[in-house]
Structure 1
Amino acid sequence: MHAESKSGILRQPLSVWATAFAAVVAFMGIGLVDPILPAIAKNLQASPSQVSLLFTSYFLITAVAMLVTGWVSSRIGGKRTLMIGLALIVVFAGLAGTSGSVGQLVGFRAGWGFGNALFVATALAVIVGAASGGAESAIILYEAALGLGISMGPLAGALLGDMNWRYPFFGTAALMATGFVLIATLLKAPPRPAVKTPLSAPLRALRHGGLSTTAFTALFYNYAFFTILAFTPFILGMDAHGIGLVFFGWGVLVALSSVFAAPFLQRRFGTVRVMHAALALLVLFQLGLAVSGHTGIIVCTILSGIPIGMNNTAFTEAAMEVSDHPRPVASAGYNFVRWMGGALAPYIASKLAEHFSTAVPYYAGAACCAVAMAILVIRRGHLRPLERVDIDHTFQEAPLPAQA
């Protein structure tokens, strides 16, 4: 059974692969600017906290826009929503490459974030709806796209940014234009929902105890996640190539642990236990970043990709399975809350470093992981539906009875 499900992940319609390719490029945009953050600060005469607003504006707009993605897609259809999101990314990524000041760049990243929200939230629903092998296979495929995109983003940013800090933005625009063409030609428009989603649906979905528990735990987890992603480039003391290679190694571990380690461990120990273990491991790496020298910082940064990849898959599957709301609505509410962690962390981390020391942001990240674990313990009763999902997975993995 397990071998069949694994092979089924790769046997997907062309429309799913087209959407997955565009998702890879969309997630590349998250880590694309990592290797060039010091270069941007130097060329635009900006401080680290000012440059960190590239992440803050991007994720803040992404989070808020999540509230309207279901409303839009239920009225114009999933395919049109994907294409509008891709078109906005193409336009604003291209404009970001023309920026003459950090303020302009921050503004263009905000527009990019709006397009990213329309695309990412809808892409997950489209892949889940169109993929063969069920929701679990679709989520693993989606997380594989996330991991691959996050790993390739810093590498592409380093290679293009070494020539000019503007080139990574133009490169993203070109790749997203390719994704736009693939979606337009290969994706058959999925049927529109019979009932149009009201604007208030994602917020009302968060009244569900399980979804709100998952979302707010993910908010604190994402704070720790993006402290590493957005702040660490400033303390590595390396050029664009060096930073790009460090975060490429980190991203490879994100991808491998999200696709292979997380599903295996979830089937053996359950989703909630995987969350606890990954958060505890992330605490150790955050503390390692706080107290280590240069080599230790590199090692802890790369290895932190393991718990981050495990949590990305565990949290996404939990958000999709824990409530009885439609998956696009649950995804929108969940992402609205969790991306707030990505919006807050870069700016707060850089400010903490400016006022105290470079170790303090990581202590704050470790504390956020501890808070996330406490939420899971205190509200564990709301996560009981996940136990049924884990039992189903275990049943699917069980060997067939011997034939008489």
Structure 2
Amino acid sequence: MSTPTASKSMEHRVPDAAAVEKSGILSQPKAVWAVFFASIIAFMGLGLVDPILPAISKQLDATKSETTLLFTSYNAVMAFAMLVTGAITSRIGIKRTLIAGIIIIAVFAGLGGASNGIWELVALRGGWGLGNALFVATALTAIVTLSNSGNAKAIILYEAAIGLGISVGPLIGGWLGAMSWRGPFFGVATLMAIAFVGLMTLMPSAPSTAQAKQKTSLLDPFRALKHRSLLVFGISAALYNFGFFTLLAFAPFVLGLDEHGLGLVFLGWGLLLAVTSVFMAPKLQKAFGTVKSMCLMLALFALLLLAMGIWTSTQWVVIAAVIVAGALLGNNNTLITTAVMNASPVQRSTASAAYSFLRFIGGAIAPYLAGKLSEIYNSSVPFYVGAAFVGLSVLCIWLNDKHIRHVDTAENAH
């Protein structure tokens, strides 16, 4: 990457420090905005399905634990697929990887809408997870790499896309789901087709010279986890995602609302997630530092899940807790993503793959466990267990403070 040709091809993506300082978050190349808008549509897919979980359970005669497997298969496949995203991207390029992810999501979402059984649907959600892995890991790398305003602002932009997609998704999902549970699946396929057109027309192909210089090995993510800081954040994210996906996959079953109602609740959740990830997280970071802010958000989230466990049968408490959780999750998502990007000297794509692998392992186990615990015990137990895991993530960060405190220094240097 040090050759004159490679340096020249990357000039528009690596501005000097003065340019970064002056560049605002909205002053981005059109390639960044192409990925941004595609990311919004991609993350609509997660929220679109959420309001229809009870309807799927009822209409396909599936138990809660079987229905929550829709999240488990999705996250499990995504976790392991994350390990190969870097190797794929380094060989075929960012744009082709994003396009491949979009096509896979569209195909499996469409097939999901045409399916007739819970196990068939669970399997197809796994295929959807493969496409999402290719897209999500590469989208973060693309925005951070192509941005001309520095790591922190690029990550905020990425988290904003996630928040917007997740917030609008439930509203559309509730509307489509009220007609039929199949509607949101076909809706995702349609939106992915729009994202495909957007990326093909707006995003130029990334220069291949730099990519050819260094191909990522399949073992690189595992080597990256030898860095204690990255491993700590990955384990913390896995524990934290137990709580995240307990709320996302199981809360719809205890809210007692129809598709429209669930859509509105998760719209509020997603809006707070989007707003805090963009506006509040940077202020927390500046005032208290990344690590302390993360611990605060995670501790508050653990308490919120505990409250949901205590007052599971009180509808307004659960509704309020879900919506408020959006603010805590929005802040923490931005904080932990920023920390991961600055945690180790490995390539961003490799760091993202290693971290995401651990993160989505937690997200794969939690939904099924929540459904099963509710069947064995009662509907409060999943929230208690989720709170305990989130509490462990705080403990993991606190016990390893000396290994991760450098992320604040690294962020201030950008």
Residue matched to 1:325 = 346
Residue matched to 2:387 = 366
Structure 1, unaligned runs of 5 or more: 394-404
Q: Measure the CA separation in 2 of the matches of 1:126 and 1:24.
A: 14
1:297 lines up with 2:318 in the alignment: yes
Kept in 2, the 8 Å contact 1:5–1:137? The answer is: no
1:37 lines up with 2:53 in the alignment: yes
Q: Measure the CA separation in 2 of the matches of 1:173 and 1:63.
A: 22
Residue matched to 2:218 = 199
**AA of the residue aligned to 1:227:** T
Per-residue Cα deviation, 1:214-244 (whole angstroms, up to 9, x for no partner): 1100110111011101000000011000111
Match of 1:213 among 222, 232, 239: 232
| Cα deviation, residue 27, structure 1 | 1.2
**AA of the residue aligned to 1:256:** V
Match of 1:247 among 257, 263, 266: 266
Structure 2, unaligned runs of 5 or more: 1-16
For residues 226-375 of structure 1, the aligned pairs below 5 Å read: 226-292=245-311, 293-375=314-396
Secondary structure of the residue that 1:212 maps to in structure 2?
Answer: helix
Residue matched to 2:98 = 82
Q: Measure the CA separation in 1 of the matches of 2:377 and 2:294.
A: 31
1:105 lines up with 2:100 in the alignment: no
Kept in 2, the 8 Å contact 1:78–1:190? The answer is: yes
Secondary structure of the residue that 1:8 maps to in structure 2?
Answer: coil
Secondary structure of the residue that 1:358 maps to in structure 2?
Answer: coil
| Cα deviation, residue 376, structure 1 | 0.7
Per-residue Cα deviation, 1:359-380 (whole angstroms, up to 9, x for no partner): 1111111111111111111111
Secondary structure of the residue that 1:33 maps to in structure 2?
Answer: helix
Q: Measure the CA separation in 2 of the matches of 1:78 and 1:258.
A: 25
Q: Measure the CA separation in 2 of the matches of 1:7 and 1:230.
A: 39
**AA of the residue aligned to 2:141:** A
Kept in 2, the 8 Å contact 1:270–1:390? The answer is: no
For residues 54-93 of structure 1, the aligned pairs below 5 Å read: 54-93=70-109
For residues 145-224 of structure 1, the aligned pairs below 5 Å read: 145-192=161-208, 193=211, 194-224=213-243
Q: Measure the CA separation in 1 of the matches of 2:349 and 2:412.
A: 24
Residue matched to 2:4 = none
Kept in 1, the 8 Å contact 2:342–2:411? The answer is: no
| Cα deviation, residue 390, structure 1 | 4.7
Kept in 2, the 8 Å contact 1:143–1:258? The answer is: yes
Query: In angstroms, what is the RMSD of aligned CA positions?
Result: 1.4
Kept in 2, the 8 Å contact 1:96–1:105? The answer is: yes
Change (3 A) 1:355 1:165: same
Residue matched to 1:140 = 156
Q: Measure the CA separation in 2 of the matches of 1:245 and 1:63.
A: 29
Per-residue Cα deviation, 1:262-302 (whole angstroms, up to 9, x for no partner): 11100111000011100111012111111221111111111
Secondary structure of the residue that 2:231 maps to in structure 1?
Answer: helix
Change (3 A) 1:6 1:351: farther
Q: Measure the CA separation in 2 of the matches of 1:54 and 1:154.
A: 16
Change (3 A) 1:5 1:285: farther
Q: Measure the CA separation in 1 of the matches of 2:168 and 2:70.
A: 19
Kept in 2, the 8 Å contact 1:89–1:176? The answer is: yes
Q: Measure the CA separation in 1 of the matches of 2:186 and 2:345.
A: 41
Q: Measure the CA separation in 1 of the matches of 2:119 and 2:411.
A: 47
| Cα deviation, residue 7, structure 1 | 7.1
Q: Measure the CA separation in 1 of the matches of 2:174 and 2:247.
A: 18
Secondary structure of the residue that 2:179 maps to in structure 1?
Answer: coil
**AA of the residue aligned to 2:117:** S
Percent identity reads 52
**AA of the residue aligned to 1:367:** A
Secondary structure of the residue that 2:192 maps to in structure 1?
Answer: helix
Residue matched to 1:399 = none
TM-score normalised by length of structure 1: 0.94
Q: Measure the CA separation in 2 of the matches of 1:104 and 1:62.
A: 18
Kept in 1, the 8 Å contact 2:224–2:346? The answer is: yes
Per-residue Cα deviation, 1:108-158 (whole angstroms, up to 9, x for no partner): 111010000001111111111112211111100000001111111211110
Q: Measure the CA separation in 1 of the matches of 2:125 and 2:57.
A: 15
**AA of the residue aligned to 2:112:** A
Secondary structure of the residue that 1:32 maps to in structure 2?
Answer: helix
Q: Measure the CA separation in 2 of the matches of 1:20 and 1:344.
A: 29
Q: Measure the CA separation in 1 of the matches of 2:29 and 2:412.
A: 29
Kept in 1, the 8 Å contact 2:23–2:149? The answer is: no
Kept in 1, the 8 Å contact 2:291–2:405? The answer is: no
Q: Measure the CA separation in 2 of the matches of 1:10 and 1:94.
A: 34
TM-score normalised by length of structure 2: 0.92
**AA of the residue aligned to 1:232:** A
| Runs of 4+ that moved beyond 4 A | 4-7
Q: Measure the CA separation in 1 of the matches of 2:255 and 2:44.
A: 21
| Cα deviation, residue 15, structure 1 | 1.7
Residue matched to 2:6 = none
